[in-house]
Amino acid sequence: MNTISVNNYSQLPYTNSYSPYWQGGVEYPYYNQNREERVENPAKTLGLAALLQAVAVGLQKGSEFFAKKLEAGKEFTSAENVNKIADSMIKSNKLDVTVDFIDHANKYRYSANPALYNEIETVANGKNAFYLDEAKLAVAPKTKPSLILHELGHASNSKNFILKMLQKSRRYAMAAPMVLLIASKLLGKREDGQKNFIERNAFGLGFAAFLPTIIEEGTASLKGINAIKKVPQGVLKGALNKNVLKRNYLLALATYVIAGLGLGVASKQTIIENS
């Protein structure tokens, strides 16, 4: 049994989940918002606002679709093999990390920390996996052990200065709409009455804020997949279908790309509503 001391985190931990919608146990704030219609004038603006709202809803649906596919995804090999690959990954990257596979029988060992326990509950339900850098803890559902390889990819990334910066950026990325709005107000209106740079590029700038997260997520998955071939020959027994793992990780990445697009839409919406 592992003894895990993760009781010092009073706040909700920032975790690296395999899907952004379980980030911190809450859905992203920019979806499902009943936005006030503060459109001063033309039908054109109203039309664009409605279109953006429709796109936001579409993205939400798309993300749910991929998340469901991922949930229903098969395991690419036995739990035993996953354990061996994880061990090899930890050794070859000299990772300082506690690995734990969660189910409803063992989840209680985290109950001393309510914020963390909330996250652990979703893991026990097979709906999340995460790496918590502050606690050097990587967890995956007992029913979906293969997700641990991606989380160990995050653990490995946290040892690289640049990748760690990308990893940390996600906690600020969600502020993009507000930051862009403030920046746009500071820039002010152009003398010729045209939109300023931020007003014109709000979508791209919002998406760009999430791009570091998408890149870091993709890197974590690649490291997990590549770890398979680093295991010495003969160690892994029985069936092993790498394509199944690749498909699962691709589905997870898709939810992050959609989250980035959603942040772009939210940025555009914020600018339009306040101009």
Write the secondary structure of 142-204 as one string of H (helix), E (strand) and C (coil): CCCCCHHHHHHHHHHHCCCHHHHHHHHHHHHHCCHHHHHHHHHHHHCCCCCCCCCHHHHHHHH
Judged by CB under 5 A, how many residues of this single chain contact Zn ion? Answer: 3
Shortest gap between Cβ of 88 and Zn ion (angstroms)? 20
Asked if 23 touches Zn ion (CB under 5 A), the answer is: no
Chain residue whose CB lies nearest Zn ion: 16
Shortest gap between Cβ of 182 and Zn ion (angstroms)? 29
> Radius of gyration over alpha carbons of the chain, in Å?
21
Binding mask 109-138 for Zn ion (x = CB under 5 A): ------------------------------
Taking Cα atoms as reference points, which of 173, 133, 160 lies closest to residue 16?
Answer: 133
Of 4-12, 173-181, 211-219, 234-242, the segment contacting Zn ion by CB under 5 A is 211-219
Shortest gap between Cβ of 66 and Zn ion (angstroms)? 14
Asked if 16 touches Zn ion (CB under 5 A), the answer is: yes
User: What is the β-pairing status of strands 137-141 and 16-17?
Assistant: unpaired
Taking Cα atoms as reference points, which of 215, 248, 242 lies closest to residue 229?
Answer: 242
Of 6-14, 40-48, 114-122, 213-221, the segment contacting Zn ion by CB under 5 A is 213-221
Of 1-9, 50-58, 91-99, 214-222, the segment contacting Zn ion by CB under 5 A is 214-222
**Calpha distance 10→33 (Å, rounded):** 28
Of 27-35, 100-108, 116-124, 209-217, the segment contacting Zn ion by CB under 5 A is 209-217
Asked if 156 touches Zn ion (CB under 5 A), the answer is: no
Shortest gap between Cβ of 154 and Zn ion (angstroms)? 6
Among residues 16 and 93, whose Cβ is nearest to Zn ion?
Answer: 16
- Can you tell me which residue has the tokens 């001393």? 112
| Contacts for 36 with CB less than 8 Å, ≥ 6 apart | 273
Shortest gap between Cβ of 127 and Zn ion (angstroms)? 14
Among residues 19 and 267, whose Cβ is nearest to Zn ion?
Answer: 19
Taking Cα atoms as reference points, which of 131, 120, 126, 92 lies closest to residue 220?
Answer: 131
- Joined together, the tokens standing for residue 165 give 């910066």
Angle between helices 147-157 and 79-92 (to 10 degrees): 10
Among residues 181 and 261, whose Cβ is nearest to Zn ion?
Answer: 261
Asked if 98 touches Zn ion (CB under 5 A), the answer is: no
What's the helix, strand, coil split of the chain in %, to 5? 60, 5, 30
Among residues 100 and 217, whose Cβ is nearest to Zn ion?
Answer: 217
Shortest gap between Cβ of 252 and Zn ion (angstroms)? 7
CB atoms within 10 A of CB 171: 12
Which positions touch Zn ion (CB under 5 A)?
16, 18, 217
